[in-house]
Structure 1
Amino acid sequence: MERKYWVPALERAQDVLQLVAEQPSRLRLMDLSIATGINKSTMFSLLHTMETLNWVIREKGDTYVLGSFFGVIGNAYFAGMSLVKLFEEKATRSVERLGETFQLARLEKGELVYLAKKEAPAQVRLISEPGMRLLAYATAMGKVLLSALEDAQVLALYEEGSYHAFTPKTVQSGEELLEQLRMIRKQGFAVDQEEIVLGFCCLAMPVVDRNGKWIAAVSCSMPVHQWTQKQELAKEEIQILTQALSATVPL
């Protein structure tokens, strides 16, 4: 991995946390200093900071265990995995009813990260696969999640003049993108009409957690010749699916 922008303090903190996780309630400051090669004064500062952040807890015998922060992070991580499993389970009905492919993705900065896909039998497969990343402004799921951000936040994600045209119908500027996002906010869903791949259209809606945060999106993609016939049914199925996922997302 490129170490040009490496932060040594984070690496040292990870080494300490790894040891504490492997040997809870057994290691004191001096033990951790010897095991990592970090001098005592630096180790004192690291542990004090991590204790303040609830990364570690110092026990009565001056040994350490992991703090509550990692319980929160762990729950968030496994909630994400649970969402994928729920999608795979509940999307089966939608795929069977509509005969088209459904997908789940989340937003990471300016990119859409695909989490899961439930495919319908078809001669032509979609390019997306779990783990794949695409520029969010060119996709229905990406645009619906971008619509939850402030305009200034959206513009900061993409350098003006650098919008990549996947097809002649792809968004070409920040102003064009913001105009689309305003419409998405009003209607509650986003569409991609041959903006990422010619010959395919897509409709997407958000998955919302119990705090009202838009944490992911679900879409249905189909060949353009099916769009007029199936658009409304796709909207209905996605709404059912996103509501089912939103209702079961853990806090």
Structure 2
Amino acid sequence: MEKKYWVPALEKANDVLLLIAEAPSSLKLIDLSKRLGINKSSMFSLLSTMEALEWVVREEDGTYSLGNRLGLIGNAFFKQFSLIDLFRKEASAVKLKLGETIQLAKLEQTDVLYLAKEEVPSPVRLASEPGKKFPAHSTALGKALLAMLPPDEFDRIYANETLEPCMTPYALKTKRELRSQLDAIRQNGYAFDLQEAVVGFCCVAAPVLNLRGEAVAAISCSMFQHVWEEKKELAIREICALAKRLSHGSLS
């Protein structure tokens, strides 16, 4: 968007909400003011307005947390995706069979946006919470979705040869490397992330297609690197089969 149409007050409100979301019930007005470089009177006006709109809640100790209205908006966002309900139903059995977490995401430019996950108990919790974004080139989910893009669309969103950011030392670093992998992904029907998003974790993903054969989302299974070779083949079969079942129910 051109800056001449920009509304600075909305940008400031957005910054406040993001900061509160990172540390709910931890920051007072003065803390928010200092961290964001917004003077106290302006911050007071912003917080008062957002409190009245139920975007934020002021706790008894003067700290702020997110309000109910944002919860309603968030739920409305995810309700747009009927695929999520189908995913939860179908993926619950797959996660038990594999003993690993199953994730659903969609592509947003050069990122993947996580929509839902079916999680198994683990001492390490994956950072792929619904609403979280990761660079598409560093995830199996992202690569499975990028492989389904028309070549001109791929070149549009990846205008530069260098891929950034690189989440780990194992991540792909150039568009040429990524394009080479996408060719193989299209042939195989699934994609891998070999410690590219998080060191110590490997992942397999497959695209979910609509009736026109377009990828509307992707699903993945993530696991510790030390069990990858043991479970890889079973995970490939289960994820590809799950993707086909979800594709049959995906009309968007």
**Deviation per CA, 1:179-201, whole angstroms, max 9, x where unpaired?**
11111111111000000100000
1:226 aligns to what? 227
Computing the radius of gyration from Cα coordinates, the structure with the larger value is 1
**Which secondary structure does the structure 2 equivalent of 1:88 belong to?**
helix
Q: What is the rounded CA distance, in whole Å, between the counterparts of 2:90 and 2:80 in structure 1?
A: 15
Change (3 A) 1:136 1:5: farther
**Which secondary structure does the structure 2 equivalent of 1:86 belong to?**
helix
Name structure 2 gaps, 5 residues minimum.
Answer: 8-76
Aligned residues of 1:79 and 1:250 also touching (Cα < 8 A)? no
Change (3 A) 1:78 1:227: closer
2:241 aligns to what? 240
Q: 1:3, CA displacement in angstroms?
A: 7.8
Change (3 A) 1:249 1:80: farther
1:129 matched to 2:129? The reply is yes
Q: What is the rounded CA distance, in whole Å, between the counterparts of 1:148 and 1:103 in structure 2?
A: 19
Change (3 A) 1:6 1:204: same
2:197 aligns to what? 196
Q: 1:243, CA displacement in angstroms?
A: 1.5
Q: 1:169, CA displacement in angstroms?
A: 0.8
2:88 aligns to what? 88
2:3 aligns to what? 4
The one-letter code of the counterpart of 1:221 is: S
**Which secondary structure does the structure 1 equivalent of 2:5 belong to?**
coil
Q: Taking structure 2 as the reference length, what is the TM-score of the superposition?
A: 0.67
Q: What is the rounded CA distance, in whole Å, between the counterparts of 1:104 and 1:116 in structure 2?
A: 5
Aligned residues of 2:194 and 2:202 also touching (Cα < 8 A)? yes
Aligned residues of 2:113 and 2:132 also touching (Cα < 8 A)? yes
Aligned residues of 1:163 and 1:171 also touching (Cα < 8 A)? no
2:30 aligns to what? none
Q: What is the rounded CA distance, in whole Å, between the counterparts of 1:127 and 1:176 in structure 2?
A: 26
**Which secondary structure does the structure 1 equivalent of 2:162 belong to?**
coil
Q: Taking structure 1 as the reference length, what is the TM-score of the superposition?
A: 0.68
1:178 aligns to what? 179
Root-mean-square deviation (Å): 2.2
Q: What is the rounded CA distance, in whole Å, between the counterparts of 2:135 and 2:102 in structure 1?
A: 19
Name structure 1 gaps, 5 residues minimum.
Answer: 9-76
Aligned residues of 2:189 and 2:240 also touching (Cα < 8 A)? no
**Deviation per CA, 1:3-47, whole angstroms, max 9, x where unpaired?**
825399xxxxxxxxxxxxxxxxxxxxxxxxxxxxxxxxxxxxxxx
